[in-house]
Amino acid sequence: MNAAFKAVPYTAGINNHMGSRMTAQQPAMAWLMADLQRRHKFFVDSRTSAQTVAAAEAQKIGLASVSRDVFLDDEPTEAAIFTQLQTAISLARKQGSAVMIGHPYPQTLAVLERELPKLKAQGIAWIDIQQMISVRGNRATAAHGKDGQYRFPTAR
């Protein structure tokens, strides 16, 4: 962690994109969240595993965090990315916000470049992740928990 933050010194937080196995390990996530808390950093859970305990561990100690709702480019075609973006917009309307993640694929960038300017006219505001953490206030959406609390996955 020291080397990573030294390599990118202005980092405000981290996100998992790989490491699904680790996000399902409670002791590892408890350690990571405590380390991030000590450093005053936030965590974005990409939810690459249904067994993730990352957000729940962050919430336990009050670490600023948020979880992804929509993965834009699991299928990296412009048509699929556009569909996922529409899913995120629908979800944002339903629950008040939606967190999207994706890759800097040319197709993803093309869709975002074309569609993001249209969001304001649709009543959708594009905000950065730190603002989203504040909007959600470390509370889980219905898709990720119950009554604002992140749920731990059921035993396997």
> Which tens digit of pLDDT belongs to each residue from 100-135?
999 999 999 999 999 999 999 999 999 999 999 999
Angle between helices 54-61 and 26-39 (to 10 degrees): 50
57, part of any domain: yes
On the question of pLDDT at 18 being above 80, the answer is no
50, part of any domain: yes
Number of domains in the chain: 1
Q: Give the per-residue pLDDT at 156.
A: 47
Q: Give the per-residue pLDDT at 19.
A: 66
On the question of pLDDT at 81 being above 50, the answer is yes
Average pLDDT for the chain:
93
22, part of any domain: yes
Report pTM.
0.89
Identify the CA nearest to 93 among candidates 101, 85, 103. Answer: 85
Range of the domain at 17: 2-150
CB 126 within 8 A of CB 116: yes
Angle between helices 106-119 and 78-95 (to 10 degrees): 40
- Those residues whose C-beta lies under 8 Å from the C-beta of residue 101, and which sit 6 or more positions away, are 15, 17, 44, 46, 68, 70, 71, 72
Q: Give the per-residue pLDDT at 152.
A: 82
155, part of any domain: no
32, part of any domain: yes
Name the residue with higher pLDDT: 156 or 85: 85
| CATH number for the domain that contains residue 129 | 3.20.20.370
